Homo-oligomer: A and B are copies of this chain.
Amino acid sequence: MAIKVGVIGAKGRVGSAVVEGVGEEQDLELVAEIDKDDELTQLTDAGAEVIVDFTTPNVVMDNLEFCIRNGIHCVVGTTGFDDERYDQVRAWCKENPEVGVLIAPNFAISAVLTMVFARQAAKFFDSAEVVEYHHPNKLDAPSGTVVKTARGIAEARREAGLDAMPDATEQALDGSRGADVDGVHVHAVRMTGMVAHEDVIFGTRDQSLTIRQDSYGRTSFVPGVVTGIRNVADNPGLTVGLDKYLGL
């Protein structure tokens, strides 16, 4: 039997892509689309088993409280969570121990895998650097994903007791060696026409390993959300990060 899914924020750019994505899966049934002026009771009326929430920081907590208390599992891509909020969600989950809640900053499955593999590979290589490529309208450099990836690499190297990376550079044009994120050099390219792309590069004797992630469009989060919907009921309590669901 299909899983009954409700989407909160169903008319937003992301939410509407989720609505469409859910509609394409045979094992998922869309039973409710909630937007700003709709009542959350539509979810219970429709018998939703899982909700997907891509809304805003100021409404997401109310949504979660309602759903958890009504035994509805939650897959959440809304931003703005901090420790205090996580603790609140954990408290609600404690009172409803059968409910699963997945909160993830990134649902693009290729980006999540890149981060996981980068952390796994880090200890086997002398060198590691990251190059990211985005459209030129992006406001920050490097991307948050890449900073996180670099920190994961740095942490794995520390845990493995690796030395600093070899680098004999004596004369460098300012900026040419990139930004230093915990000892990992990170470079950001801005290029008209590109969307979002990332190379995590590792090198050791006579070889390199590159993990390349390409996003070509704006709905790359959909497969990750679908993975979340399918697995959230089997993961009671709060889970932060889609990687926990990937079984790696």
A residues with a Cβ closer than 8 A to B are: 21, 108-111, 113-114, 117, 120-121, 124-127, 129, 131, 133, 136-142, 147, 165-181, 185-195, 201-220, 222-223, 227, 246, 248
A124-B207 CB under 8 A given contacts A168-B137, A169-B138: no
> Complex formed: what's the CA distance from A86 to B233 in Å?
44
Q: Which residue in chain B gives the minimum CB-CB distance to A227? A: B124
**CB distance B194 to A172 under 8 Å?**
no
Q: Tell me which residues across on chain B come within 8 A of A210, comparing CB atoms.
A: 210-214
Which interface residue of A108, A113, A191, A248 has the most chain B CB atoms within 10 A? A191
| Shortest CB distance A104–B (Å) | 14
Interface on chain A toward B: helix, strand, loop, or mixed SS?
Answer: mixed
**CB distance A192 to B126 under 8 Å?**
yes
> Complex formed: what's the CA distance from A172 to B141 in Å?
5
> Complex formed: what's the CA distance from A95 to B179 in Å?
54
